[in-house]
Amino acid sequence: MDKKVLLSELLLKALDYLQNPLDKEKEKEFEDLKNLITVKVFLPLIDKEAILLRIAYNQDQAFGDSAMGYTCVTELALIIHGLLAYTNIDINIGIDYKQYGVYDTIMESGLYDYILSYCKTGGAYYGGDINIKTLSQGAYGSANVNIWAQQGGYSGTDTGKIYIVAKKDSGDSRTGNSIHIYSEMYGADAGTLFLQEQAGEIVCGDTSDHSGTKFYLKGDVGGIVASPKVCEFVGQNARDAYGGGSSGGDSLFEATDGGDSTGGNGNGGDGGDILFRAGLHGNKSGTGTNGADGNCKFGVETTTNYLEIKGDGELALYGTARVKRFVQINATATKGVGTNPATEGEIGLNGCMIFSKTIDENIGSVITIPNDMDRSVAPTIRIGWASPVTTGNIKWEVKSLYRSENEDISSTTADDTIDVVDAVSSTSNGYQYTSFTLSAPSSTDRVVQIRITRLGSDASDTADDVANLLGFLFEYTSNKLGTAT
């Protein structure tokens, strides 16, 4: 004989679960008690006769003479003395239980449907669908489906919560199923799905022991949408206001912190990484070609000025995101070259190369082109110099020659020859610098040869004393960290 389940205990567990629907422990207690219920598929006619008599008798126990009271007792009599009579639930309860709340608890907790399903099928069954929809007939626009929780009538009571849950059976290992909320497509178009708040926050997440939260944007194979345009996390505009708009809020991408060890000699967990991975290329078929891997781009706008991480890991900069860098060559690291080489000397605390007034003297140097250089932007040579005199001009000339691997390095035909006349400082030995813009190197150039000359014999060189060269810079625009390996 099946063990009796007390209706009073069952109602208390159901009510506790309804008030705490996300409490797994309370859900399990209710489910465990519910699993003790057995349902009779067949009842002898004499037992059914007794059930009908009890239903009729209890209809006389109305709460007063009101129609509402009579309706309540009728519903309770049909459920308690009718439906529950097919189970091993002990239905001997007092008058205190014959009230609206008992009916609501039995129905809302799913207990009614749970028992009725066995009465209909005689055993386990597949749950049916629940369809909530508006009518499509009529010449005017469609109606809305609104689901909302009301605020309590008592002053200060919060609005109730809305739960949409794919339930699992806590009595076994079966898992809850998926929940799909989507805007159905018609032709090539579909509506927009909004998760929207007015002043609170939107939280998308799962419990801590599950695998994480994922946002997918996928093309449907064989369907109408071949490739979604873009997956956007968009922080819209802050509030406009007369006299000054509000500042925009920050967007936070935060990985999970490592867990703490709570006892013994355990290690703390590692913090999670934040990973941005662009899409991989699609593979070709037949004689076609593979697509290109996507890149990760960061910037206020990502068409002109932005940072890009390429698929091979190379970090590239575009537009005003690029930066100026330089290679510095001290004067004493160069060499006097040509028919009239400049001579090494000293000025202040440093060495220098000394260029005389009367003849054209030269120095030379070779620079390896930096691997982070943007080769589409012309570099600049900046020389630093000083002269003892305080009046007159110095005429400087810079020649450059780019060379690739296996290209003749002995050539004396320059790619650039640039002359600049610059005035000396009004302070004796005052520091001056002069700039020369070169042509841009090719994609294969490895080095650039530099020759710096003072054209002392030229009529436009009017400074009547030596010029002391302290060194020079090869200034260039950097658009990446380096060359990908």
Tell me if 93 sits within 8 A of 117, measured CB to CB.
no
Same-domain check for residues 314 and 420: no
Residues 413 and 453 in one domain: yes
Query: Cα separation of 22 and 131, whole Å?
Result: 24
* Number of Cβ atoms within 10 Å of the Cβ of 75: 15
Q: What is the pLDDT along the chain (485 residues), one digit of tens a residue?
A: 467 888 888 888 888 888 888 888 888 888 888 888 887 766 677 777 777 777 666 655 545 556 556 666 676 677 766 777 778 777 776 656 566 677 677 777 777 777 776 655 544 444 445 556 655 555 455 667 777 766 655 566 666 677 777 666 555 555 556 676 766 655 555 566 677 666 666 666 655 555 566 666 555 555 555 555 556 666 667 777 788 787 877 777 778 788 889 888 999 999 888 888 888 888 899 999 998 888 888 887 777 888 888 877 778 888 888 889 999 999 999 999 999 999 999 999 999 999 999 899 999 999 999 999 999 999 999 999 999 999 999 999 999 999 999 999 999 999 999 999 999 999 999 999 999 999 999 999 999 999 999 999 999 999 999 999 999 999 999 988 766 66
CB 305 within 8 A of CB 318: yes
Q: Are residues 68 and 90 in the same domain?
A: yes
Do 317 and 460 have their domain in common? no
Is the domain of 410 the same as that of 351?
A: yes
Total count of domains within the chain:
3
Evaluate whether residue 369 is within a structural domain: yes
Same domain for 312 and 438, yes or no, is no
Coil/strand/helix, residue 364: strand
Q: Is residue 162 part of a domain?
A: no
Domain assignment of residue 332, given as a range = 323-478
Q: Is residue 57 part of a domain?
A: yes
Strands (E), 124-188: 185-186
Phi/psi for 51 (5° steps) reads -65, -45
413 in the same domain as 350: yes
The contacts found for 339-347 with CB under 8 angstroms, 24 or more apart, are 342/454, 342/469, 345/468, 347/386, 347/429, 347/468, 347/470
Whether residues 347 and 300 share a domain: the answer is no
CATH number of the structural domain spanning residue 338: 2.60.120.260
Using N-to-C axis directions, what is the helix angle for 7-19 and 24-34, rounded to 10°?
150
**Phi–psi pair at 458, nearest 5 degrees:** -75, 145
